[in-house]
Amino acid sequence: MPEMNLIQALNHTLHEEMARDECLYVLGEDVGAFGGVFRVTKGLQEKFGEARCFDTPLSEQGIVGFAIGMAQKGLKPICEIQFADYIFPAYDQIVNELAKMRYRTANQFPVPMVIRTPYGGGIHGGLYHSQSPEAQFLHTPGLLVVVPSSPYEAKGLLASAIRAQDPVLFLEPKRIYRAIKEDVPLEEYLIPLGKAHISREGNDITLIGWGAQHRQNLQAADEMEEEGISVEVIDLRSLNPLDRETIIESVKKTGRCVVSHEAPKTQGFAAEISAVIMEYCFLYLEAPVKRCCGLDTPFPHTLEGEYLPDAPRVKRALRETIKY
């Protein structure tokens, strides 16, 4: 069982899945001989040929639109959008065509495809290379949204996304692309979509996050243990479908909850999670649900550390909720 970082785990999975299924195709900007801007698709063109791993023009709308047609013809395309910040030219294709195609054709033309894209801050990329746009796609029925937080999860979740019969937006937290290594089995395994993971059990308060923010949440929880506060940490993994059951059971047990994500606080996905908790856990709550999120500003370059909700900020939110 070799150690892999997140990029290596994704690359290994793409090689494994393309060898398993000849209907899989990889397309995007510089994904071929160059191997992608972050090298996630390295070696795919060399192994499977230019017909199955190929470069596209610099047109996100064209990439997704072309892939929709491929999927309708029985192929399984895996698109790469170089940065999530660049995905918005394809927003019309994703929201008005891709997500609705199964419904509008009465299930005659499902579009099983994956859109992979690096997202989030932590690499000093400034306002055009650091955004977390998940909430803008979570309001789109018919589109699955998945976010791994570790190399092990990356393999199992990507394999499940590739085999899903609905379109999947697969957000890859580039902040931890090379920052974490862990054992990843070489044999095939799947992590089911729509099932959260309790990474750390606790009794006093629930802490919910996903992607790179999950790592900050774990650090905060470990440090809070030294203060005598037991924090249960949930890694959502799938944002749509959302594992409401795991959230509800945890909050009923602890009576308190903090939700933390990198995206701006206002109308972020933490608000939806808070609403779910209010609907199903109201009588169990000892304090209001608190959000610890990015700031309501465009993503800054020089003040990235102040913008991102790091472990110290998460700890302050936990303390305030406990003391309420």
**Which residue has tokens 């059990």?**
201
Q: Does 276 lie in the same domain as 128?
A: no
Q: Does 160 lie in the same domain as 44?
A: yes
Beta-strand ranges (E) seen in 96-149 are 114-119, 144-146
Q: Does 210 lie in the same domain as 89?
A: no
Q: How far apart are CA 84 and CA 11, in angstroms?
A: 19
Q: Does 72 lie in the same domain as 20?
A: yes
314 falls within a domain? yes
CATH of the domain at 12: 3.40.50.970
Active-site residue, from 12, 129, 214, 261: 129
**pLDDT at residue number 200:** 98
Q: Does 145 lie in the same domain as 76?
A: yes
Total domain count for the chain?
A: 2
Write down which residue in 183, 213, 246 finishes a domain. Answer: 183
Write down which residue in 183, 212, 245 finishes a domain. Answer: 183
**pLDDT at residue number 315:** 98
- Assess whether pLDDT exceeds 90 at residue 79: yes
CA end-to-end distance (rounded Å), the chain: 46
Judge whether 234 and 196 are in contact, CB under 8 Å: yes
Q: Does 149 lie in the same domain as 10?
A: yes
Whether omega for the bond prior to residue 192 falls within 30 degrees of 0, making it cis, is: no
The two three-digit tokens of residue 205, written as one number: 């308060």
Going by pLDDT thresholds of 50, 70 and 90, the confidence category of residue 12 is: very high
Judge whether 242 and 275 are in contact, CB under 8 Å: no
Q: How far apart are CA 10 and CA 14, in angstroms?
A: 6
Going by pLDDT thresholds of 50, 70 and 90, the confidence category of residue 75 is: very high
Domain that holds residue 311: 197-323
191 falls within a domain? no
Q: Please tell me the pTM assigned to this model.
A: 0.97
Q: Does 93 lie in the same domain as 147?
A: yes
317 falls within a domain? yes
12 falls within a domain? yes
Write down which residue in 160, 183, 206 finishes a domain. Answer: 183
**Which residue has tokens 């150690």?**
3
pLDDT tens, position by position, 89-114: 999 999 999 999 999 999 999 999 99
310 falls within a domain? yes
Active site residue 129: yes
